[in-house]
Amino acid sequence: MPLVPTLELLHGAAARRTGVAAFNVIHLETAEAIVAAAEETRLPVILQISQNCVRYHGSLEPIARAALALASDSPAHVAVHLDHAEDEELTRHAIDLGFGSVMFDGSTLPYEENVAATVRVVEYAHANEVSVEGELGEIGGKDGAHAPGVRTDPAEARRFVAETGVDALAVAVGSSHAMTERTARLDLGLIAALRHAVPVPLVLHGSSGVPDETIEAAIRSGITKVNVSTQLNRFFTEAIRAFLADEPGVVDSRRYVREGRAAVATEAARLMTVFDVAARAASGTETARG
């Protein structure tokens, strides 16, 4: 089906008080796995390509065109999003390629500079019917973005959204990037306060380090878009390690990369079901968690 606008997925999820999975693409195999998970669960998903991913591949266009093709060829509802772009020119390139949304990360800039840069990105994106995710506050693990202890202030968030016109807002509420253990504690009261303070969907970055039950609580408190990268990377790598331990003589990379792709598809499908909180609650299938 045609590429789905990211904002359509976010508004639909916000109305249902459920969460939309936003999974980071590292290479073609992860993109294929994520789309397969969406088709299996019949749940929407957002494919994310970060500035770090672009740097790894050397340019945006090859991996972007692959993700866009997978999304448009799939019967699932799939959006494509540029994640954590600190380069304004990169956001314009993604918009020109046909991305449904871009994230401009000016969180390490002084407030006024963040606003000015974000406004420039919003103006170009909205002129091309593309939505923008902004970031306020810092989310740890990335040289000051999301640093432990830093939190987004609701009053400042309201001002930032009004001044920039962003369509979604990434907030710092206790998560951190690149966590390999799921031990993060979120400030659920702050999430609720932010949801009431701003009229746009809230985004949780660093969700790989957050336990399932805490993510569910965060969605109930007001989070709409849930970003995951490290968790899927871990499953990919562990599956390949296990295969090569059992089959040390294999030299055809397709044989072991296939195992990683399958592991990512399985975990992505599981996470998507976890994030679909409202639907499970309505159907009576949700279970209490200790």
Q: How many CA atoms lie within 13 A of 211 on its CB side?
A: 9
Choosing from 83, 167, 187, 276, which is the catalytic residue? 83
Calpha distance 42→181 (Å, rounded): 28
DSSP 81-92: EEEEE--HHHHH
Confirm whether residue 135 is marked as ligand binding: yes
Confirm whether residue 84 is marked as ligand binding: yes
Q: How many CA atoms lie within 13 A of 33 on its CB side?
A: 28
Confirm whether residue 177 is marked as ligand binding: yes
Calpha distance 98→55 (Å, rounded): 19
Q: Catalytic: 167?
A: no
- The residue among 89, 87, 73, 83 whose CA lies nearest residue 22 is 83
Confirm whether residue 205 is marked as ligand binding: yes
Phi-psi region of 33 (alpha: psi -120 to 50; beta: other; left: phi over 0): alpha
Q: Contact, 82 vs 110, CB < 8 A?
A: no
In a 10 Å sphere around its CB, with 0-12 CB exposed, 13-18 middle and 19+ buried, how is residue 50 labelled? buried
Calpha distance 36→128 (Å, rounded): 29
- Buried-state track 85-113, b at ≥16 Cβ within 10 A, e below 16: bbebebbbbbbeeebbbbbbbbbeeeeee
Element (H, E) at 168: strand 168-171
Beta strand ranges found along 58-154 (DSSP E)? 78-85, 101-104, 131-136
Confirm whether residue 153 is marked as ligand binding: no
Residues with a known catalytic role = 83
Residue ranges of the annotated binding site are: 84, 105, 135, 177, 205
Residue ranges of the annotated binding site for Zn(2+) are: 84, 105, 135, 177, 205
